[in-house]
Amino acid sequence: MKMKFEFWGETFEANMIIGALGGFIIAVASSLGGFGGGPFVVPLMTVIMGLPIYVVVGSSLLAIFFNTLMASSRYYFFGQTDVLLFIIMAIGAVAAGFIGPRIAKRLSPIWVKRIAAIGCTYLALKLLNVPFIP
């Protein structure tokens, strides 16, 4: 099933079966874990669906917003949202949105990503209970 759409005068065709299935799986994992799915949805739409990045940046954000809003309301109705913890986390997150871009200008994005990759691997090994990890 292909979907045709227009973006700034250009016509694109996207395989919606891959898009829907991939989006669904990412959304289940991200709402189960409680993180945003951005880093996975963008590669899904660019690498797997073959869309150029300028089409994807805004539209992927919209798609993820659906997931976040639905999952948040679900958690809230299940009685699993600690409003106090949410407020504290939100203050930190919003402040980070102002601080982050200012620091970003002075750092090499490639090195940040390398450090992040190492950090994520370490955390993953810890979560997976791999022996001999301090």
Partner 1 sequence: MISKMWKWFFWVVLPLFLVIGAYSWVFTQEAKKEASQGAPKSPEATVVKPSVSEGSEATKVELKLDKEVYKGGETIKISGKVPTGMKVNFIEITSVDSKVQVSRLDRKDFKFYLSKEIPAFYHIVINEDYVAKIDKNGTIEEKPVKEVYNKWKANKKWKIGEFMKETNADVAFITPPKLISEIKVWKTSISKAIIGSRGEPLPSLTDKKEIKKEAARLIQTRMKDLPKIFSLGKIKTNEDGTFEYSFKLPDNAPPRSYTVIAVVNKEVKSEPIKLTVDVSFPKIYFPVAGTSTNFLGPLILSLAICTFGVLMGAGGGFILNPLLIMIYHLPHGVVAGSVMPTVLFSQATGIYNYSKIGFINWKLGITIGIFMALGGFFGPLLNQFVTLDEYKFVFGIVLLGLAALMFWQTTPGYIEKSKKEKAILEEFKKRAAAAKKAKEEQKS
Footprint (CB under 8 A) of partner 1, residues 72-101: 72-86, 88-97, 99-101
Residue 132 near partner 1 by CB under 8 A: no
- Binding map of partner 1 across residues 7-46, x = CB under 8 A, - = no contact: xx-----x-x--xxx-xxxxxxxxxxxxxxxxxxx-x-x-
User: Is-contact 22 48, C-beta < 8 A?
Assistant: yes
Q: Which is nearer to partner 1, 100 or 132 (CB)?
A: 100
Residue 69 near partner 1 by CB under 8 A: yes
Residue 66 near partner 1 by CB under 8 A: yes
User: Is-contact 18 48, C-beta < 8 A?
Assistant: yes
Residues shown for the chain: 134
Q: How far is CA 41 from CA 12, 28, 45, 104, in A?
A: 18, 12, 6, 23
Q: At closest approach, how far in Å is the CB of 46 from partner 1?
A: 8
Q: At closest approach, how far in Å is the CB of 57 from partner 1?
A: 7
Residue 50 near partner 1 by CB under 8 A: no
Contacts of 26 (CB under 8 A, 6+ apart): 37, 40, 41, 44
